[in-house]
Amino acid sequence: MLFNRYRRGLFITSFLAAPVILYLVYVISPYAQAFYIATTDWRGVTATPAFIGLDNFVRLFGDDIFWKAVTHNAALLVLLPLITIVIALFFAFLLNVGGAQGLTGIRGSKFYRVVFFFPQVLAVAVVAVLFQQVFRPDGSGMLNGPLMALGVRPIGFLSDPDVAFWSVLGVMVWQAVGFYVVLFSAGLASIPRDMFEAAQIDGAGRLSLFFRITLPLLWDTVQVAWVYLGILALDVFAIVWVMTDQHGGPDWSTTVMAAEIYRNAFQYFRFGYASALGVMMFFFIVGFAVLSLRLSRRERIEY
């Protein structure tokens, strides 16, 4: 019996060994190296960088551009999940439950799911280039063209420091909503129709159906969506780097931590300082995920 248990353990270990080794080498090892490099003045060319302790972190906290990046990430951390989830829940409810035909959703709901999901097919860089053209400040811009034709002064969607951040946020919401519409639609499909029908017979309207049945039963899915969107908000890079001027907007109005990591590492060759930025971002992401899961924890509703 003991020998069989040993053989079974050896068999399982032989299958797990390769992926565990790969994970240690390609995931854990780079993290550990980043923590070490953050305490050096390495510029990417010297074989033995000088150890400087916490000097990079001291410099980091006195860097105005770093605090602008943190402010923008924090704003995205609140606004991106909130706006995306509200819009996605609204459309998912309409497509599955809240249509005029009762509990079957609005007419053409399958077509609308495809339309909403379409932005997910596009690469992030393609979306950024596309919206560069949409936001052009001249008559060829999709938004400014009609405004100028009406005699309205063109809006600097990407050149005005007061508008650029909101333009980036709008693009991120546009791209993310479709995926979460499909995700919430899948969650709604798993809820027994009997619950909606019973509530409707008792006189519940669309708002009651949404807040008393849909939202409580989708809470676990909403929780996961909030965490994923929060990580996206902290880890955003390509949209900002490709779409905005100076890879951070005018007067650093759209810069984020990931953009500053790339800029310091591959433009200024300050790999030690860039690693310190990466370490700070790592703790922000882990802290957000843990805090979100704890604050949104509630009793599971079974049905």
pLDDT band of 302, cuts 50, 70, 90: low
The answer to whether residues 19 and 93 belong to one domain is: no
3-state secondary structure string across the chain = CHHHHHHHHHHHHHHHHHHHHHHHHHHHHHHHHHHHHCCECCCCCCCCCCECCCHHHHHHHCCHHHHHHHHHHHHHHHHHHHHHHHHHHHHHHHHHCCCCCCCCCCCCHHHHHHHHHHHHHCCHHHHHHHHHHHCCCCCCCCCHHHHHHCCCCCCCCCCCCCCHHHHHHHHHHHHHHHHHHHHHHHHHHCCCHHHHHHHHHCCCCHHHHHHHHHHHHCHHHHHHHHHHHHHHHHHCCHHHHHHCHHHCCHHHCCCCHHHHHHHHHHCCCCHHHHHHHHHHHHHHHHHHHHHHHHHCCCCCCCC
The answer to whether residues 82 and 205 belong to one domain is: yes
Nearest to 226 by CA among 292, 283, 299, 300: 292
Establish if 131 belongs to a structural domain.
yes
Q: Which residue type is seen at 58?
A: V
Is the pLDDT score of 207 beyond 80?
Answer: no
250 contacts 164 by C-beta, under 8 angstroms: yes
Establish if 214 belongs to a structural domain.
yes
Overall average pLDDT of the 70-85 stretch = 94
Q: What is the pLDDT of residues 222-250, one digit of tens each?
A: 888 988 999 899 889 999 999 988 788 88
The answer to whether residues 12 and 156 belong to one domain is: no
Q: What are phi and psi of 40, to 5 degrees?
A: -125, 175
The answer to whether residues 24 and 45 belong to one domain is: no
- Domain containing residue 221: 38-295
Q: What is the pLDDT of residues 123-133, one digit of tens each?
A: 898 999 999 98
Look at phi and psi of residue 291 and say left if phi exceeds 0, alpha if psi is from -120 to 50, else beta.
Answer: alpha
Is the pLDDT score of 2 beyond 60?
Answer: no
Establish if 42 belongs to a structural domain.
yes
Is the pLDDT score of 86 beyond 90?
Answer: yes
Residue 27 vs residues 24, 180, 251: alpha-carbon distances, Å: 6, 28, 35
- The predicted structure's pLDDT at residue 3: 55
The answer to whether residues 84 and 4 belong to one domain is: no
The residue ranking higher by pLDDT, 202 or 229, is: 229
- Our CA dihedral for 47, 48, 49, 52, rounded to 10 degrees, sits at 170
Rg (C-alpha) for the chain, rounded Å, is: 24
Overall average pLDDT of the 264-279 stretch = 92
- The predicted structure's pLDDT at residue 119: 87
* Average pLDDT of every residue of the chain: 84
Establish if 258 belongs to a structural domain.
yes
Exposure string for 173-211, b = 16+ CB within 10 A, e = fewer: bebbbbbbbbbbbebbeebeeeebeebbeeebeeeebbe
The answer to whether residues 11 and 57 belong to one domain is: no
The Cα 113–Cα 123 span in angstroms is 19
Residue 255 sits in a domain whose CATH number is 1.10.3720.10
Overall average pLDDT of the 201-230 stretch = 79
175 contacts 124 by C-beta, under 8 angstroms: yes
The answer to whether residues 47 and 24 belong to one domain is: no
- The predicted structure's pLDDT at residue 216: 79
Establish if 133 belongs to a structural domain.
yes
260 contacts 284 by C-beta, under 8 angstroms: no
The Cα 256–Cα 164 span in angstroms is 13
The answer to whether residues 11 and 143 belong to one domain is: no
The residue ranking higher by pLDDT, 301 or 193, is: 193
The answer to whether residues 6 and 142 belong to one domain is: no
The answer to whether residues 146 and 163 belong to one domain is: yes
Number of structural domains the chain divides into: 2
The Cα 144–Cα 133 span in angstroms is 10
pLDDT band of 286, cuts 50, 70, 90: confident
Establish if 154 belongs to a structural domain.
yes
pLDDT band of 203, cuts 50, 70, 90: low
- The predicted structure's pLDDT at residue 204: 67
The answer to whether residues 28 and 99 belong to one domain is: no
Q: What is the pLDDT of residues 97-114, one digit of tens each?
A: 755 445 566 777 778 788
Establish if 301 belongs to a structural domain.
no
- The predicted structure's pLDDT at residue 189: 78
Establish if 300 belongs to a structural domain.
no
The answer to whether residues 26 and 84 belong to one domain is: no
- The predicted structure's pLDDT at residue 98: 58
Q: What is the pLDDT of residues 160-199, one digit of tens each?
A: 899 999 999 999 999 999 999 988 988 887 777 777 667 6
- The predicted structure's pLDDT at residue 252: 92
Q: Which range (42-51, 83-92, 119-128, 201-210) has the least confidence?
A: 201-210
